[in-house]
């Protein structure tokens, strides 16, 4: 049983890849390799999307490089595809590792015909009902109270699903965050809140967000346990999330997990991070690369596949993403009349008129 | 005319009716929907044991239990937000916001989540929820218990906006709203909660959104309003009738969608349109009605479309009576209209 409210982050693997403390590995080599693969896939996806952006094929992207251990750890700790997720806009690593189809993610970023969200949101705000991954909203922290509501519904329906709600450290300053956690505590809703504390909210550092000792401790105020985890350690994240998620599932009420991590890229495609943080700091955290740390661990355990196998996997991922990207671009874009769909369940008269107006205008073109 | 189709039907002979005021009609609607659909949950501040500060939810917790009717923390953001999340997961939440004036802490949840989740997810997720809230002045409630903020919501695509003015409509519109697959902001004019009673069928019926009610037929002038001003609008019409002026009175009943056809038909017939509401005048929803009337019927109007509304001030406690557009202000506006 992990302890809440620790001063030091919960950790399983040291920087050098050695086990910290005494614990036994309950994962087989194939599962460990899966964790590695999912992190690498998220990293490569980041690189590809940045390229896509430079080519002007998409207009927005929020990198998650540096945060792979946190996101992949979360995905592997929950019942992916069964539990409901109210994510935030930087969760591609979580989404991909949880089985969110790559092609749907890409289609959303390009706003093509295949976009499940029909080209409605800005790029990189994906969602899939089939995968129980609720469409991402740009508005910071406004997924928190709805996540509580979904969990309340699950409890009411007698389901053993739980709801997972993720957000950055900046989100914890918003009123909605506090409102959502407070209600979850009162309602004993089966919701697992996870802060991906990457230490920056655009250019505002964590000290601008809170005067408390981190985020996990805030859970105390809402009557739930708060866990402080080393977010660069995929095993620690996976283990804590798994244990806490099952406790939430068993009806013990909500919990908060804070994963201390770092985004090594810019905030978004529109950001220049050299204006607000030193290169030394970024380099320091580049050195704390979660993928490298995990590789050192696998090596120490004698479980790291040979270089050829690893580069074979990388090549496979590269080919997979390239293939999806090449295909995605050929799928055309939503047509003008789709603009009026899904505002309401049925088209009310005023929208019908407006669609008719646009139709005449389009025909005159 | 279409307005007639949407007007309160005379209850069928066999159907049992009861005399109810507006708040009792709301209560009955909630009770019936909870009985017929287990997905309907009611929550908000003080709605449980207390039964709501206006008693809209009186007796519901006793009948349906605290799993289905419960008090929340004092947080509009979490009330609305939770309603969104529940609706997304398949329930039919009916949330009460104690006063429309207190919706603002939850407004991002309404605007960014409830109103948009269907659209931005391409129809994958929907938020079929109802937010009921008392609105409007006339109860000596002072500034924070008297506002008429409906225009903010009508300006947000994805929301439906309703405001009944009679017990019959309150029950029928609320039941229709709960069954709709869209988020509905349901304003209840609190000064009419106990203003009068009327016969309300005890059995199931709905009043569709987007259909106005013809309260009175006439051919010289159309008075068009909704919500708390309706009884005064009807009184104004009766007063004009005594002077030999025949006035048509239309109650919009819902603002999104609104019954353009009924309004245009009446305006074409009378050629004179007086729009009445108690919300602040600037960017009032009636501005939209006026604009549509002049765009469609410019040639047929006998006079410019006129508006009687609240003032562009925050709601003044001591000047309640002065602020609200009562019968006299309506009559003066009507006189100007008839002079053209
Ligand atoms: C309500 C709201 N205010 C401001 C913004 C603009 N904004 C976008 S991202 C962001 C920073 C969020 O930081 P954090 O929650 O820590 O997440 P991170 O991006 O670091 O992963 C801000 C201020 C927004 N999207 N929503």
State the smallest CA–CA distance between residue B14 and chain A in angstroms: 34
pLDDT at B143: 84
At the topology level, CATH places domain A29-334 in: Rossmann fold (3.40.50)
Same domain, B233 and B110: no
pLDDT at A35: 98
pLDDT at A38: 98
For residue range B75-93, list pLDDT tens digits in order: 999 999 999 999 999 999 9
Q: Is the pLDDT of residue B3 over 50?
A: no
Confidence of residue B13 (pLDDT cuts 50, 70, 90): low
- Contact between A64 and A125 (Cβ < 8 Å): no
Q: Which residues of B touch A175 (CB under 8 A)?
A: 77, 105
Residue B7 lies in a domain: no
- Average pLDDT rounded to a whole number, residues B126-146: 94
Nearest by CB to residue A137, choosing from B113, B182, B258, is B113
Residue B8 lies in a domain: no
Nearest by CB to residue A84, choosing from B89, B108, B112, is B89
Confidence of residue A329 (pLDDT cuts 50, 70, 90): confident
- In the DSSP assignment, the letter for residue A156 is H
State the smallest CA–CA distance between residue A164 and chain B in angstroms: 12
Same domain, B239 and B196: no
Range of the domain at B275: 213-339
DSSP for B211-238, written as a single string:
--EEEE--SSEEEEE-GGGHHHHHHHHH
Strand partners, B221: B247
pLDDT at A351: 95
Same domain, B184 and B70: yes
Same domain, B248 and B175: no
**Could you tell me which residue, A269 or B277, shows the higher pLDDT?**
B277
Number of domains in chain B: 2
Q: Which residues contact B109 (CB under 8 A, 6 or more apart)?
A: A142, A145, A146, A176, B76, B77, B80, B81, B84
Tell which of B73, B82, B256 to mutate to test the A interface (max A CBs under 10 Å). Answer: B82
Residue B9 lies in a domain: no
Q: Is the pLDDT of residue A213 over 80?
A: yes
Residue B311 lies in a domain: yes
pTM over 0.90: yes
**Which structure tokens are listed for A192?**
């697992």
B108 in reach of chain A (CB within 8 A): yes
Tell me what percent of the residues of chain B surpass a pLDDT of 90. 92
- Average pLDDT rounded to a whole number, residues A40-64: 95
pLDDT at B10: 52
Same domain, B222 and B158: no
Nearest to A167 by CA among A189, A148, A187, A186: A148
Which pairing describes strands B17-21 and B197-201: parallel, antiparallel, or unpaired? antiparallel
Same domain, B169 and B239: no
Confidence of residue B2 (pLDDT cuts 50, 70, 90): very low
Residue B328 lies in a domain: yes
Same domain, B238 and B109: no
Q: Is the pLDDT of residue A31 over 90?
A: yes
Residue ranges in A58-215 assigned as alpha helix (H): 68-77, 92-97, 102-110, 144-157, 175-187, 206-209
Nearest CA to ligand 1 atom 12: A201
User: Largest Cα–Cα distance in chain B?
Assistant: 60
Residue B206 lies in a domain: no
Confidence of residue B15 (pLDDT cuts 50, 70, 90): confident
For residue range B299-333, list pLDDT tens digits in order: 999 999 999 999 999 999 888 889 999 999 999 99
Q: Is the pLDDT of residue B154 over 50?
A: yes
pLDDT at A365: 79
Confidence of residue B142 (pLDDT cuts 50, 70, 90): confident
A85 in reach of chain B (CB within 8 A): no
CATH number at residue B244: 3.40.50.920
Residue B258 lies in a domain: yes
Block residue for tokens 């939770």: B82
> Annotated catalytic sites of B, by residue?
145
Quote the strand ranges of B243-315, DSSP E: 247-251, 254-256, 273-280, 306-310
Q: Is the pLDDT of residue B9 over 70?
A: no
B119 in reach of chain A (CB within 8 A): yes
Same domain, B190 and B256: no
pLDDT at A361: 86
- Contact between A179 and B74 (Cβ < 8 Å): no
* A201 Cα: distance to centroid of ligand 1 (angstroms): 6
Q: Which residues contact B127 (CB under 8 A, 6 or more apart)?
A: B83, B84, B87, B88, B113, B114, B117, B118, B182, B183
Sheet holding B247-251, edge to edge: B213-216, B247-251, B221-225, B273-280, B306-310
- Cis (ω within 30 of 0) for the bond into B257? yes
The chain-wide mean pLDDT, for chain A, equals: 96
Q: How far apart are CA B71 and CA B42, in angstroms?
A: 9
Q: How far apart are CA B306 and CA B288, in angstroms?
A: 12
- Contact between A229 and A237 (Cβ < 8 Å): yes
Same domain, B157 and B240: no
Same domain, B165 and B235: no
Q: Which of A63, A68, A74, A201 to mutate to test the pocket of ligand 1 (most atoms within 8 A of CB)?
A: A201
- Average pLDDT rounded to a whole number, residues B15-44: 97
CA B200, B205, B206, B207 torsion-angle sign: negative
Same domain, B134 and B231: no
Q: How far apart are CA B30 and CA B20, in angstroms?
A: 14
Q: How is chain A split into domains, by residue range?
A: 29-334, 336-364
Nearest by CB to residue B109, choosing from A135, A142, A153, is A142
For residue range B259-291, list pLDDT tens digits in order: 999 999 999 999 999 999 999 999 999 999 999
pLDDT at B6: 42
Establish whether residue A330 lines the binding site of ligand 1, counting it when its CB lies within 6 angstroms of any ligand atom.
Answer: no
Nearest CA to ligand 1 atom 3: A140
Tell which of A180, A221, A344 to mutate to test the B interface (max B CBs under 10 Å). Answer: A344
The chain-wide mean pLDDT, for chain B, equals: 95
Same domain, B165 and B78: yes
CB-side exposure of B259: number of CA atoms within 13 Å?
A: 28
- In the DSSP assignment, the letter for residue A339 is G
């Amino acid at each position: 049983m992990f302890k809440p409210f620790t001063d030091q982050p919960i950790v399983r693997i040291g920087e050098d890849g050695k086990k910290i403390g005494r614990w036994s590995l309950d994962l087989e080599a194939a599962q460990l390799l899966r964790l590695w693969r999912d992190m690498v896939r998220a990293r490569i996806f980041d690189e590809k999307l940045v390229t896509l952006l430079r080519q002007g094929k998409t207009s927005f992207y929020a990198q998650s490089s540096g945060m792979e251990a946190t996101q992949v750890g979360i995905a592997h700790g929950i019942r992916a595809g069964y539990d409901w997720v109210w994510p935030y806009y930087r969760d591609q690593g979580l989404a991909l590792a949880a089985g969110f189809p790559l092609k749907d993610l890409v289609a959303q970023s390009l706003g093509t015909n295949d976009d499940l969200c029909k080209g409605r949101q800005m790029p990189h705000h994906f969602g899939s009902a089939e995968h129980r991954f609720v469409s991402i909203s740009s508005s910071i922290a406004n997924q928190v109270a709805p996540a509580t509501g979904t969990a309340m519904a699950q409890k009411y329906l007698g389901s053993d699903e739980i709801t997972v709600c993720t957000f950055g450290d900046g989100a914890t300053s918003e009123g909605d965050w506090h409102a959502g956690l407070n209600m979850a505590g009162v309602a004993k809703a089966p919701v697992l809140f996870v802060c991906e504390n990457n230490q920056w909210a655009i250019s505002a550092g964590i000290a601008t967000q809170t005067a408390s000792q981190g985020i996990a401790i805030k859970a105390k105020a809402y009557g739930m346990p708060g866990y402080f985890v080393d977010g660069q350690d995929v095993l620690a994240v996976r283990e804590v999330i798994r244990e806490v998620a099952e406790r939430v599932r068993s009806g013990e009420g909500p919990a908060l997990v804070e994963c201390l991590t770092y985004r090594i890229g810019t905030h978004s495609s529109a950001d220049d991070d050299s204006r607000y943080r030193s290169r030394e700091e970024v380099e320091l955290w580049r050195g704390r690369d979660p993928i490298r740390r995990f590789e050192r661990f696998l090596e120490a355990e004698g479980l790291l596949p040979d270089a050829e196998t690893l580069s074979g996997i990388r090549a496979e991922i590269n080919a997979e993403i390239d293939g999806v990207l090449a295909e995605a671009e050929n799928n055309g874009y939503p047509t003008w009349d789709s603009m009026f769909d899904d505002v309401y369940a049925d088209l009310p008269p005023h929208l019908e008129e407006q669609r008719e107006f646009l139709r005449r205008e389009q025909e005159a073109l | 005319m279409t307005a007639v189709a949407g007007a309160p039907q005379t209850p069928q002979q066999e159907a049992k009716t009861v005399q109810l005021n507006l708040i009792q009609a709301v209560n009955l609607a909630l009770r019936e929907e909870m009985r017929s659909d287990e997905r309907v949950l009611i929550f908000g501040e003080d709605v449980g044991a207390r039964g709501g500060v206006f008693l809209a939810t009186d007796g519901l917790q006793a009948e349906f239990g605290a799993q289905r009717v419960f008090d929340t923390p004092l947080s509009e953001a979490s009330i609305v937000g939770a309603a969104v999340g529940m609706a997304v997961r398949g329930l039919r939440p009916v949330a009460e916001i104690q006063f429309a004036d207190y919706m603002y802490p939850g407004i991002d949840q309404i605007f960014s989540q409830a109103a948009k989740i269907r659209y931005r997810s391409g129809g994958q997720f929907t938020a079929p929820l109802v937010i009921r809230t008392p609105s409007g002045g006339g109860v000596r409630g002072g500034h924070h218990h008297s506002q008429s903020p409906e225009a903010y919501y009508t300006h947000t695509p994805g929301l439906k906006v309703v405001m009944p003015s009679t017990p019959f409509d309150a029950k029928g519109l609320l039941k229709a709203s709960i069954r709709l697959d869209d988020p509905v902001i349901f304003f209840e004019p609190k000064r009419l909660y106990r203003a009068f009673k009327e016969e309300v069928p005890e059995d199931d019926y709905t009043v569709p959104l987007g259909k106005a009610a013809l309260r009175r037929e006439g051919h010289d002038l159309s008075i068009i309003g909704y919500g708390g001003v309706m009884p005064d609008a009807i009184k104004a019409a009766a007063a004009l009738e005594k002077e030999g002026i025949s006035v048509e009175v239309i109650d919009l009943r819902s603002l999104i969608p609104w019954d353009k056809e009924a309004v245009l038909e009446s305006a074409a017939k009378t050629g004179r349109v007086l729009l009445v509401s108690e919300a602040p005048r600037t960017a009032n929803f009636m501005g939209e009605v006026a604009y549509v009337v002049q765009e469609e019927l410019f040639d047929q109007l006998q006079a410019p479309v006129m508006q009687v509304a609240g003032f562009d001030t925050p709601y003044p406690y001591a000047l309640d009576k002065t602020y609200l557009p009562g019968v006299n202000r309506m009559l003066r506006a009507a006189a100007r209209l008839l002079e053209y």
